[in-house]
Amino acid sequence: MAGNPEKIPIGISSCLLGEPVRFDGGHKYDPLINTQLADLFEFRPCCPEVAIGLGVPRDPIQLVRTGQGMRIKGVNNPDIDVTRKLENYGNRIAREFADICGYIFKARSPSCGMEGVATWTQQGRQAEPDGIGAFAAALIRAHPGLPVTDETRLQDPALREQFIEDVFARYRSYHS
Ligand code: SF4
């Protein structure tokens, strides 16, 4: 982008920018994202759990394997099921952020995690850590081919470089 003042828009989990939106009122400010990548990208922050009305602070949620597939339920109150709300919000953001060229998700979150999220049985036992957050899954489905990553993958220089290249390629495809 040398000589081009325009930054490329990408979506990002709000907590990675230092916004205090986590269930415990904290954040997950990421130094690399907020320095190196902030020079390249215009961040469009989004916290799906706040957006669907769960509030801050809030009871934590988790991925639970059920007979109806993977559900996002309250840790302390399994009667709470926000799967559909998070999926609907992922679809909505895919429409509202139609021009983004990538997305940086918060790793391991039951809403934002894009891979390897912890899962639990209905009896409360830990199961395979192979879940995907409901918001991330819906957004990825609704935004085919969108370059996506998370803050742990960005620590790897090769994966980081690949993500940046993919975002630039997506941007060029929108503007060619
Ligand atoms: S991981 Fe996603 S849902 Fe959780 S606090 Fe961060 S932005 Fe919000």
Per-residue pLDDT reduced to its tens digit, 88-140: 999 999 999 999 999 999 999 999 999 999 999 999 999 999 999 999 999 99
State the average pLDDT over residues 76-83: 96
106 Cα nearest atom in ligand 1: 1
Does residue 1 register a pLDDT over 50? Answer: no
Per DSSP, the residues of the chain read: -TT--PPEEEEEEGGGGT-S-STTS-----HHHHHTGGGTEEEEEE-HHHHTT--SS---EEEEEETTEEEEEESS-TT-B-HHHHHHHHHHHHHHTTT---EEEPTT-TTT--S-B-EE-TTS-B--S-B--HHHHHHHHHSTT--EEETTGGGSHHHHHHHHHHHHHHHHHHH-
The pLDDT of residue 74:
97
48 Cα nearest atom in ligand 1: 3
109 C-alpha to ligand 1 centroid (Å): 7
> Rounded CA gap, 156 and 118, in Å?
22
CB 140 within 8 A of CB 146: yes
Confidence of residue 2 (pLDDT cuts 50, 70, 90): very low
Is the shortest distance between the CB of 15 and ligand 1 below 6 Å? yes
Is the shortest distance between the CB of 14 and ligand 1 below 6 Å? yes
The pLDDT of residue 176:
85
Give the closest residue (by CA) to ligand 1 atom 5: 22
Does residue 142 register a pLDDT over 50? Answer: yes
Is the shortest distance between the CB of 137 and ligand 1 below 6 Å? no
> Rounded CA gap, 90 and 13, in Å?
12
Give the closest residue (by CA) to ligand 1 atom 8: 47
Q: Which residues contact 92 (CB under 8 A, 6 or more apart)?
A: none
Beta bridge partners of 69: 66
4 C-alpha to ligand 1 centroid (Å): 31
Is the shortest distance between the CB of 109 and ligand 1 below 6 Å? yes
61-66 and 69-74 strand pairing: antiparallel
22 C-alpha to ligand 1 centroid (Å): 6
Tens digit of each residue's pLDDT (9 = 90 or more) over 12-50: 999 999 999 999 999 999 999 999 999 999 999 999 999
The pLDDT of residue 5:
56
Q: Which of 13, 46, 75 to mutate to test the pocket of ligand 1 (most atoms within 8 A of CB)?
A: 13
Does residue 155 register a pLDDT over 70? Answer: yes
